[in-house]
Amino acid sequence: MSEPSVIPPASVVLVSGGSRGLGLAIVTDLLTNGVKVAAFARTVTPELTALGEKYPDHLYYGSVDINDAQAGQAFVRAVETALGPIDGLVNNAAIGQDSLHVHTSADQLAEIITTNLTSPLVLTRFVLRRMLAKGLKGRIVNVTSICAQRGYPGLVAYSATKGGMDAATRSLARELGGRVLANAVAPGFFASEMSAVLGQTQLDQIVRRTPTGHLTEPDEVVPVVRMLLLDQTNINGQVLVVDGAASI
């Protein structure tokens, strides 16, 4: 039987894909709560740069392609030097999809799977190795999607990768018992994403079918991520859906 153990709040959190959208919102929220944060993305945005100027001692950021494992590992080492050992990881970086499976090339499938599944697992492995080698406990939050649990056209490969991350979350929780709390947060569709893909009629229909009457906003997901990283809970190996009950 596992010994009871308390996993302390994360103090240095690495956020992949932290330059815009939900990732940027998570970075901002953690900084506001006094947490040291490291963020990378393929492209550093003016918003992330501004945060770096506002929180020079608490934010370390840079341009890293998550599919470049060596660059990712070098970034992790640089973060350890700048902020201290990483004890929190938010796997947020991902690419979307908007193409029917039969019209998605094999190369595009491979790119989606590499970016959304393989690379986060490689990054997680590296961060965990550093964590365990230092005898640290920590927390992992994987940002997945309602697509992992419900079917949506045009998102076959994307859904497969998010389902893969949900499954990995559960196994990580088992494998790392007592050392790491591993959970996933599965947002519903964001208003911004949906409006880019769907027409107003379809948008209105989805909103009508959502009991809370509105699509998910990043600011509604951020508190859940914060809770999983900082609060004392016994939540482990779970996928928390944030979609206003649109999917039930």
Partner 1 sequence: MGEVMTAQGKNLPGDDTADLREIGFRSLDFSELALRVEDELEAELNFDAPGLRRIATVGDVLDFIEQLQSA
Catalytic hit among 55, 60, 61, 158? 158
Helix/strand/coil for 81: helix
For the question of residue 158 being annotated catalytic, the response is: yes
Residue 63 Cβ vs partner 1, minimum distance, rounded to whole Å: 27
Alpha helices in 13-155 (DSSP H): 21-32, 46-54, 69-83, 106-113, 119-133
Q: Give the x/- contact pattern for partner 1 in 174-203, rule: CB under 8 A.
A: --xxxx------------------------
Nearest CB to partner 1, comparing residues 3 and 107: 3
Which of residues 126 and 190 has its CB atom nearest to partner 1 in the complex?
Answer: 126
Among 46, 135, 153, 213, contact with partner 1 (rule: CB under 8 A)? 135
Best CA proximity match to 89, nearest among 158, 140, 153, 26: 140
According to CB under 8 A, which residues from 157 to 176 bind partner 1?
Answer: 176
Minimum Å gap between C-beta 134 and partner 1 is: 9
Q: Which CB atom, from 58 or from 139, has the smaller least distance to partner 1? A: 139
Strand partners, 15: 39, 90
Determine, following the binding rule CB under 8 A, whether residue 85 of this chain makes contact with partner 1.
Answer: no
How many CA within 13 A on the CB side of residue 139?
27
Which one, of 92, 60, 86, 56, lies nearest residue 165 by Cα? 92
Total residues interacting with partner 1, rule: CB under 8 A: 10
Catalytic residues: 158
